[in-house]
Structure 1
Amino acid sequence: MQATPVDFAFHDLEPGSDDFRADVLQGLAKPGKEIPPKYFYDAEGSKLFSAICELPEYYPTRTEIGILAAQAEEIARLAGPDSLILEYGSGSSQKIRLLIQAMRPCGYVPIEICRSYLQDAAAELTQHFPGLPIHAICADYTQLRHLPAEVKAHGRHMLFFPGSTIGNCTPLQATQLLKTAATLLGPSGALLIGVDLKKDPARLNAAYNDTQGVTAAFNLNLLRRINQELDGDFDLANFRHRAFYNADQGRVEMHLESLADQRVRVADVIFDFRRNESIHTENSYKYTTEEFRQMAETAGFKPLRVWTDAEHLFSVHYLQVGVGWRG
């Protein structure tokens, strides 16, 4: 069954190339060079990340899916009937299918920064769930302050934020993002969020340094994107992927490390690299369940439930805006 126009709407708030250019030039000019991880996700980067999620070393995706599958009925009960599901960083929309089947929501709002990836994933969902209203929003969710009027008019909102993407933010940034989400959801809203747990550093280092080199390709794709969109001349062979767990900071760090002294041009601006100097491309903070609960409460949420897997690798939290604690 084909989706009818009333079933699907597309809201294009995609950041422009000027934002990408400004953030890259500003980041490369810093004494410690860095680029925000949100720019990983062009069409190729999104495909590579989907491949990462299937890797044997990368436990978060399959572990989170297992938790969601086991707890879907309880999540649906907590959310209540006819909720509207929003999703930050919807990607391929794989995990949301479990929730849609269990919750039977009044609509679904995927929010994704890559336009082409969002369009493809949303179109596929209309075929799997005919009649389900889908309002796809192409936007940087970290900057999203208001929902389109036709989306906001729906009933109670539940935001789904999977994959421990909250870990890409510093704790201060994460708290602010959660505060923004609480405002976006309103006083009756809820948040279902995946959070990676602290664990053996060897397990973490393996997850971000897979033997097939897919994570390395994902990291290096950022330089390819700069070359393509910002007239850069990075030689990808002169950089290598480096990822490691920083125990003091409680985070995995990803870097692109220069293999030689070299000079690179981006958008007619010259940047010098020393051998072993790196571009810091991503953090992935890990938390204990109590650490994350405290952060959520600071941001205006009250924890209602937390579920983990048998190995205690990953957690899924159900939080509500401005209600009392229920253990």
Structure 2
Amino acid sequence: MNQQFLSEVLEGLAKPQKSLSAKWLYDERGSELFEAITRTEDYYLTRTEAAVMEEVYQELPEALGGRPAVAEFGSGAGIKSQRLIEALNPSAYVMIDVAEEFLRRSEDVLCERFPHVDVQGVVGDFSGSVELPASFQTAEHRMGFFPGSTIGNFESGGAQRFLERSRESFGPGSRFLIGADLVKDEAVLLDAYDDSEGVTRQFTLNLLERMKREIGAELDIADFDALSLWNPQDARMELGVAALRDTVITVDGRRFALEAGETIHTENSHKYTPSSFEKLAEKAGWKLDRLWTDEKDWFGVFLLRAG
């Protein structure tokens, strides 16, 4: 049994506002479903970021001025990893992800495709400290890569702490290439996080399935549905599951009653303006070098330099 998962579920369900960390969404099945989300028509983020990144790939080598070692946070299937390796020919490439089986498959693919690059997979939760291998730490040029707007999923203050830890870990003069979703029309956001194909719903409810599989939780999936709301005051999407009727979740002998409409919060997805993201980076000790956006200003790719 996954004791850490069990401990965090018991703690999260005991809170007045029940909550579970988004990291638990990404078991092997969850990771596969998220990759499927990125291919849905409603989920604009991946295709918009991909279009912006094509320009980044062309201009980044000159902007960096050297062959770096790269550490990618949340590498997933490694699709973006391949394009970045092709563009930069890095001395080393470190893939960091919490889903080990998914990570190892991606690592094998990259090792086979790029035998001249020192590719290493590191299982870790980047919301905390992650020890980077010597191939990265000893490189003359170092760059972090955090695509997909995952930085928007950190809770209050978490994004700044992550950027601060990364600056300390990477060292002076290092760079950080980060994708961030930008503020846009509410209807576009709501469609993206509740796609018409229902894949996002499967992804969210898989967390409950995982609780049943891994820690023996007793619950009826039919009593819940996925939830997505736009919070304009805090410029974020709020995601989770909601009870459709009065129900009970039993975990390790403990019963947690939920009333109809009660929610279990799983994650926020903060949206930025270019100026709000630059201010966030500066608070964490980074300076903005370059910003690339699409023609609608829906998505930004920020190149930061450690101060």
Task: Kindly provide the amino acid, as one letter, of the partner of residue 311 in structure 1.
Answer: K
Deviation at 1:144, TM superposition (A): 2.2
Cα deviation digits, residues 114-147 of structure 1 (max 9, x gap): 0000000111112221221111101111212432
Select the residue among 168, 188, 196 that pairs with 1:183. Answer: 168
TM-score of the pair, normalised by structure 2: 0.97
Does residue 276 (structure 1) correspond to residue 261 (structure 2)? The answer is: yes
Does residue 102 (structure 1) correspond to residue 62 (structure 2)? The answer is: no
Structure 2 counterpart of 1:10: none
Structure 1 counterpart of 2:291: 306
Contact 1:51 1:214 in 2 (8 A): yes
Deviation at 1:20, TM superposition (A): 1.6
Structure 2 counterpart of 1:262: 247
Matches of 1:145 and 1:229 in 2, distance apart?
Answer: 25
Does residue 195 (structure 1) correspond to residue 180 (structure 2)? The answer is: yes
Does residue 147 (structure 1) correspond to residue 132 (structure 2)? The answer is: yes
Does residue 223 (structure 1) correspond to residue 197 (structure 2)? The answer is: no
Matches of 1:292 and 1:110 in 2, distance apart?
Answer: 24
The alignment of Structure 1 onto Structure 2 pairs a total of residues equal to 307
Contact 1:79 1:158 in 2 (8 A): no
Matches of 1:276 and 1:97 in 2, distance apart?
Answer: 43
Task: Kindly provide the amino acid, as one letter, of the partner of residue 229 in structure 1.
Answer: E
**Aligned pairs (5 A) from 1:1-327:** 17-322=2-307
DSSP 3-state at the match of 1:54: coil
Matches of 1:168 and 1:29 in 2, distance apart?
Answer: 22
Matches of 2:136 and 2:160 in 1, distance apart?
Answer: 25
Matches of 2:80 and 2:151 in 1, distance apart?
Answer: 16
Matches of 2:134 and 2:84 in 1, distance apart?
Answer: 24
**Structure 1: which 5+ runs fail to align?**
1-15, 323-327
CA RMSD of aligned residues (A): 1.3
**Structure 2: which 5+ runs fail to align?**
none
Contact 2:67 2:91 in 1 (8 A): yes
Matches of 2:211 and 2:64 in 1, distance apart?
Answer: 41
